[in-house]
Amino acid sequence: MPPKLLFTIDVEEDMPQWRVQDPITVHNVRVLPKLAEICRKAGVSPTYLCTYPMVTQRESAGILRKLHQEGGCEVGMHLHPWNSPPFLGVPGKRFDERTTPYYQSDLDEDRLRRKLTTLHEAIGELSGSAPKSFRAGRFGMSNAAMRVLIELGYEADTSVTPLVHHFEDGGPDYRRAPMVPYLPSAQDFRKRGDLPIVEIPVSISLTRPLSARVQRAYARIPQKTRIRGLLSRDYLHIVDFAWLYPARFDESLLKRCADAIVKSKNPVLNIFLHSSELMAGKSSYIETEADAAECLRRIRALLEYCVKELDAQPATLTEAARALRPSLGPATSAKRHKTVR
Write the burial class of residue 210 (CB in 10 Å: 0-12 exposed, 13-18 middle, 19+ buried). Answer: middle
With respect to residue 337, please indicate whether it lies within any of the assigned structural domains. Answer: no
What is the per-residue pLDDT for 330? 63
Counted domains in the chain: 1
The model's pLDDT over 138-177, given as tens digits with 9 standing for 90+, comes to 999 999 999 999 999 999 999 999 999 999 889 999 999 9
**pLDDT, position 329:** 80
Please spell the DSSP secondary structure of 250-308, one letter per residue: -HHHHHHHHHHHHHTT-SEEEEEEEGGGGSTTSSSS--SHHHHHHHHHHHHHHHHHHHH
pLDDT in tens, 56-106: 999 999 999 999 999 999 999 999 999 999 999 999 999 999 999 999 999
Which CATH number fits the domain that encloses residue 37? 3.20.20.370
pLDDT at 150: 98
Identify any residues that bridge with 205 across adjacent strands, giving them in sequence order: 242
Confidence of residue 48 (pLDDT cuts 50, 70, 90): very high
pLDDT given for residue 131 in this prediction: 98
Judging by beta carbons within 10 Å of its beta carbon (0-12, 13-18, 19+), is residue 160 exposed, middle or buried?
Answer: buried
Q: Is residue 334 included in any domain, yes or no?
A: no
Q: pLDDT averaged over the chain? A: 95
231 belongs to a structural domain:
no
pLDDT at 169: 87
Residue 204 resides in a domain: yes
Query: Does 338 have pLDDT greater than 50?
Result: no
Q: Which tens digit of pLDDT belongs to each residue from 272-325?
A: 999 999 999 999 999 999 999 999 999 999 999 999 999 999 999 999 999 999
Check: pTM over 0.75? Answer yes or no. Answer: yes
* Mean pLDDT, rounded, for 40-69: 98
Q: What residue numbers bound the domain in which 58 lies? A: 4-209+241-329
